[in-house]
Amino acid sequence: MATSRSASALQAYVLHTHDWSETSLIVELFTRSQGRIVVAAKGAKRPTSNFRAVLLPFQPLLAQLGKAPADEHAEIFNLRSAEWAGGQPLLGAAAMFSGFYANELLLKLLARQDAHPVLFDAYADTLGALGAGVDESPALRAFELVLLRELGWLPELDSATLTAQPLAPEGRYTLTAEGGVIVHTDGLPGSAWVALEAALAHQAQAGNAAALRAACAPVATALRGPLRTLLHYHLGPTPLRTRQVWQGVQRLVDTR
């Protein structure tokens, strides 16, 4: 079911699959031009299906959809064809947890058929960085920042949210779900938040995710708590499955 790289092909990644029938799959795709979409991959489980080799997580695809559903309220499209777009290193076992974590965030936070090309590019870059062995913590913090900014949940980081006053370089601030950037004695220096905001703006304009990862690197550990708190505020009470699995693995390793 390979297809030529025509203009109608969608740049896409597989976020999740589940069984539809004995021979077919329902696939959640993250596409650059249409956002998160759901497709039916008919016959994908058959041994002879070309879909079997390409509908894998963390690998770039070029996908073509069938005709739009007759019911305008229907959300499932037919997947007509898909081919591997190439150029993506495979993730190692440890990095896969980070990849599945990013996938779960996209699945739970993105509305369907709502395009976010900047976020798509950041996701693709994050997978590339993880595949290349880049430190996972700055890569994930950079992805979380772009995700929150694209969804409109991240305030400007170079000023205090409630007063709109510029941050003092030596002052200490943290990020909260309801108050935005506020003064906090155990927070990050104002200069760090200003650097993060500048890197975010540059990433959005020029697609320079490496600069954003570099800005996250010296503060990645301290940044994890505020970003996770903000994400969980919008995720609601249901815990992330990837977090639970990773914690279980860590407990098993510690026990051994």
Q: What is the 3-state secondary structure (H, E, C) of 87-129?
A: CCCCCCHHHHHHHHHHHHHHHHHCCECCCCHHHHHHHHHHHHH
Choice between 116 and 4, residue whose per-residue pLDDT is larger: 116
User: Model pTM greater than 0.85?
Assistant: yes
Q: Which distant-in-sequence residues (6+ apart) come within 8 Å of 64 by Cβ?
A: 3, 6, 8, 9, 10, 79, 80, 81, 82
3-class DSSP state of 38: strand
Taking only the tens place, the pLDDT of each residue in 76-97 is 899 999 999 987 788 888 899 9
Question: Which H or E element spans position 40?
Answer: strand 35-41
pLDDT at 119 over 70: yes
* 239: pLDDT strictly greater than 80: no
Share of residues in the chain with pLDDT > 90 (%): 73
Angle at 36 between CA 51 and CA 198, to 5 degrees: 125
Distance CA 15, CA 103 (A): 5
Tokens coding 94: 């440890």
Higher pLDDT, 25 or 5: 25
